[in-house]
Amino acid sequence: MEWKTATLKLTTLSPIHIGTGDVFEPTNSVIGVDKGNRFLFTFNEGEFVRELAKNGRSEALLNASSSISGISQFFKRDENFKIIRKIFKEAIWIKGKKVDGDIYRTSKNGQAKAYIPGSSLKGSIATALMTKKYEGDWEETKRLFGIDGQIFKNFRISDSKIIKSVSFISSSNLVPRVEDADRTPLPLSLEAINKGSEFHFKIQYREIGFTLNEILNSLTKHYQHILESDDLIRKFQPKVNLGKEQYLIRVGKYSGRSSVTVQEARYDRMDEIEEELKHERDDRKVAKLEKELKSLEDETTTRLFQGNEPFGWAILEVI
């Protein structure tokens, strides 16, 4: 079967954080003020040391490096900050005053630009399509998945080409979803791709049991339902205006369990685990099963950016 190619444009509607687990290191980054705004500047340590050596100040860095706070204060001194302003690699805008502690990076390409991996789109598509199976429309699911039942053998998605990518840093908090949820906000400082950013993806596919439009329509059906049924993010809905041949999608970390897993599949697995726990006597296996069960339960909290913005929403369209 012949491979076909299409290009998709993704435009972000809300901040997107592609989690890597990495934080900005205090030895090669510093928060400073430029023209009245706060930025996080990153730089190459070796280049900074070479610039210090030119002015005979290398020893001053050694004296300051006994603690993280000492290094940070050293970078912020006027004469040293001027060097950083000259050699910096990134200057990331900080929005809000509550950013402190570890700051978690979003995924970057080799040019230090925030991007969206093709695997994030694959995950969103898989979630939307598998939901069809658990809605009881198994024949439709088989048709969409292809003859062998594994859609990604017939579907390839590249990492994104950056058309416009702007990231910024701000604070996020956990917001309770139910009355008895833990109300500790657990603030977390994150770098995220700003709304209005644009990315292009190349998709190669073979129409074995499905068409590209059927795939894309399944996305809107799945994610529109989430948007309309979630009380915490329903107020965000007026910002979502889909035009002709535009499709709703949600990608990245903190998008919520319902966006990245099939609800009915989770419930089925929870039933299986509860049945296994009735008969399991090995303490280690019991602990492992209980941990898995906890990870599958409905969320009691949602992480929102800057106090009220949900993560991960975007519009997808064929161009």
- pLDDT-derived band at 40, boundaries 50, 70, 90: very high
- pLDDT, one tens digit per residue, over 59-77 is 777 666 667 778 888 888 8
Taking residue 148's Cβ as centre, other Cβ atoms within 10 Å add up to: 11
Dihedral sign from CA coordinates of 255, 117, 240, 189: positive
Mean pLDDT across the chain: 82
Please state, in angstroms and rounded to a whole number, the distance separating the CA atoms of residues 220 and 319.
17
Give the residue carrying structure tokens 């929870």.
Answer: 270
Mean pLDDT of 121-127: 82
pLDDT of residue 229: 72
3-state secondary structure at position 182:
coil
Please state, in angstroms and rounded to a whole number, the distance separating the CA atoms of residues 142 and 150.
9
- pLDDT, one tens digit per residue, over 276-300 is 888 988 999 899 888 877 776 767 6
- pLDDT, one tens digit per residue, over 218-239 is 888 888 888 877 766 666 655 6
- pLDDT-derived band at 179, boundaries 50, 70, 90: low
pLDDT of residue 137: 62
Q: Is the pLDDT of residue 194 over 90?
A: yes
pLDDT of residue 96: 83
Helix (H) or strand (E) holding 118, with range, is: helix 118-134
- pLDDT, one tens digit per residue, over 247-272 is 999 999 988 777 766 666 677 778 88
pTM: 0.82
Kind of pairing between the strands at 4-12 and 198-205? antiparallel
Taking residue 119's Cβ as centre, other Cβ atoms within 10 Å add up to: 12
Please state, in angstroms and rounded to a whole number, the distance separating the CA atoms of residues 308 and 236.
9
Give me the residue spans of the domains in the chain: 4-18+113-256+299-318, 24-106, 264-296
pLDDT of residue 105: 95
- pLDDT, one tens digit per residue, over 140-175 is 655 555 544 555 677 789 999 999 999 999 999 888
Helix (H) or strand (E) holding 218, with range, is: helix 212-229
Mean pLDDT of 101-107: 92
Report which of 103, 137, 98 is spatially closest to residue 30, judged by C-alpha positions.
Answer: 103
Q: Are 319 and 219 in contact (CB under 8 A)?
A: no
Mean pLDDT of 74-81: 89
**Residues 278/283/284/289 CA torsion (nearest 10 deg):** 20
**Which is more confident, 116 or 151?**
116
What are the C-alpha distances in Å from 233 to residues 118, 195, 259, 260, 287?
25, 16, 13, 16, 34
pLDDT of residue 147: 44
Q: Is the pLDDT of residue 84 over 80?
A: yes
Mean pLDDT of 298-319: 85
Poorest-pLDDT segment among 54-58, 277-281, 303-307: 54-58
